Each structure stands twice: as C-alpha cells, then as structure tokens.
Amino acid sequence: KWHGAVTDEIGGLIRVYKDGHVERPNIVPFVSSALPQELGVTSTDMVVDKFTNVWARVYVPNHVQNQLVPLIVYFHGGGFCVGSAGWNCYHEFLAKLALKVNCVIMSVNYRLAPENPLPAAYDDGFKALTWLGQRLQGASSEWWMRQCDFSRVFLAGDSAGANVAHHLATRLASNNGTKLKAVNSLCFKGAILIQPFFGGEARTESEKRTPQPPGSALTVAASDTYWRLALPRGSSRDHPWCNPLKQDKRSGCNLEKLRVLPRTLVCISERDILRDRNVEYCEALAKAGNVVECVVYDGVGHAFQVLSKSNTAQARALEMMSHVRAFVHR
C-alpha cells in the first residue's frame, strides 16, 4: 500500500509517512526473557494491561531467595518513539544491573509515539505502579514479588525513560499521587535518572557545541524530531513535559517550587548533547531543597551503557552500576 511521502525519519529507527503510517525497521534485535544460566539471574515477562498492551520484564538475581531486596521500576529510552523492554541491549544491561545492585528490576514496556503521543508513556508508567500496588494488596501476587522489599522502591530510566521516571516522581510527590491507595502500599525512596531526555526552544551550549560521531544515539536533529512526534500537536519544546525548567504561566509550576522525591541520582554523559540540560536540572532540584547526587561520566556519549561496546564505555557502565548500587542501598 502506498502511504505517501516520508514526513519524518530518524536514522533507520523510525519512518513516519504522510498518511500517519509508521515503520520501525528492526535494527535492534528483540529477544525473549531467556538468560544464560551462568549469569545467575531469572527473567520473566508479564502483562500489565492487555487493553493497551503494556507489559513488563522482571529481573531477579537467583541468590536473593531468602532475603528482601529493593525494587527498581525501570523505563527504557528511545525518544518516546522507539525502544522496547525486549531490545537485547536493555535485556543485557538490566540483567547485569539487577545482579550488580542486588535488587529486583521491573522494566516497563510502554506505548510509543507518534501513534500514542504523550502523556501515554506517563499514563502507562502510572498504570504499572498501580498494577504493582493492586497485586501487592491482593492475593494474586507474583512469585518474584516475594523477593521485593516494597518499602524500598525506586523509579529509574534512561533518556526518555528517565523523563518518564521524573514525571512519575513529580506526580507521586503531588497530592493526587499520594492519595492513590494502590500506590500507597509502595514506599518510594528515590529516582535514578540516566541522561534524562529534556529539551527546550533555546539551544544550550552542549547542544550547539558537542560534536557527535556518525551514528550517535542522539543528535540535535533527532532530538527535535522525537519531540515533534511525541508532544501534543502544535506544542513547542518549552512544553513542561519537554522542558521542566520552564516556568508554566498557568500553573506556576516548575522545579523551583517542587519538592520531588526523597533523593535523586542523575547520571550524565560528558559527550552527550543533553549534558547542560541535565546539569541545570540537578541545580534546579538542589535549589528547590531536594537531595540530589549528580555524576558525570567522562569520555562517553548518550546511551553509552546500552549501545557502546568500547572499553571506555564498558568501564563507565560498571562505574554507573556501582553508583546505582550505593544510591539504592544507602
């Protein structure tokens, strides 16, 4: 079928046609939940909402059988338009992270734009938390839930997934979130934001001046396209979902006025175009009275921990896992 001209495209990851048809070439392999036995981690998939096809992949280190460990609810990256909890790069990274941090990880597969523009991803994240809370209160809890210490739950993600974690954190910190009984049985201890995907109309220095190698995971042009596809039609990049530091004239809501979560860890890449936005975000959180830890990883770019096999990236990814472990078990 002829779909008309291609109106938006990002380097082999997504093509959007004039009639709204969307193609996502399969350049990153999707894998099942199976893991090599010697890794010592068990993984399984579960349906969160069959109507919207939201599902999650859970990782449980085998050695935690007789202890309760923290739970990290994780959201993958991909500019809200691509990515999956089933991508092999996330599967490998999160299995290793669960083992290294000594925690259970629930990786949520949310709906993607442009078919499901924001706030679909935020709603799906909230639905996953609600589902967790309801399972916990009901008699039908899953086997892996018996390993979780629900008084130590962390929201986490990278890139667009870190943006989702940020918005869920602010939603839970505001009144409407805490009143939700199903989520009340979960005690949130903090947020782990890896290279959070934010934007804005005015360019930052790192957006203007950070040279990106060919095939970089995130360029300024790709970032603009992702936001155009993900935000409500006609929105600018100063929409609060994209630019949380922009003062919203109607609600007066920005980070300066918002006490977010007990603690936030922000992981920043030195060669990422998002570096300056991520640093500004940390400064704004701290100024608002939040406890923030900000770590910059030298010599690596956006999404290095899932996409790069270089020795430097592998070493930095291990450092990141150690920082997450220290943050979670503090």
Reduced to 3 states, what is the DSSP secondary structure of residue 220?
helix
Q: Among 43, 84, 159, 223, which one carries the catalytic annotation?
A: 159
Query: Rounded to an integer, what distance in angstroms lies between the CA atom of residue 195 and that of residue 210?
Result: 15
What sign does the CA torsion over 248, 251, 252, 258 have? Answer: negative
Active site residue 159: yes
- 190: Cβ–Cβ under 8 A, 6 or more apart, which residues? 154, 155, 261, 262, 263, 264, 265, 327, 328
Q: Nearest-CA neighbor of 20 among 4, 40, 34?
A: 4
- Residue 328 has, within 13 A of its CA and on its CB side, a CA count of 28
For β-strands 6-10 and 14-17, DSSP reports them as: antiparallel
Q: Nearest-CA neighbor of 111 among 101, 94, 124?
A: 124
Active site residue 302: yes
For β-strands 22-23 and 14-17, DSSP reports them as: antiparallel
Measure the CA angle with vertex 19, ends 15 and 22; round to 5°. Answer: 30
Query: Rounded to an integer, what distance in angstroms lies between the CA atom of residue 255 and that of residue 129?
Result: 23
Q: Which residues form the catalytic set?
A: 159, 272, 302
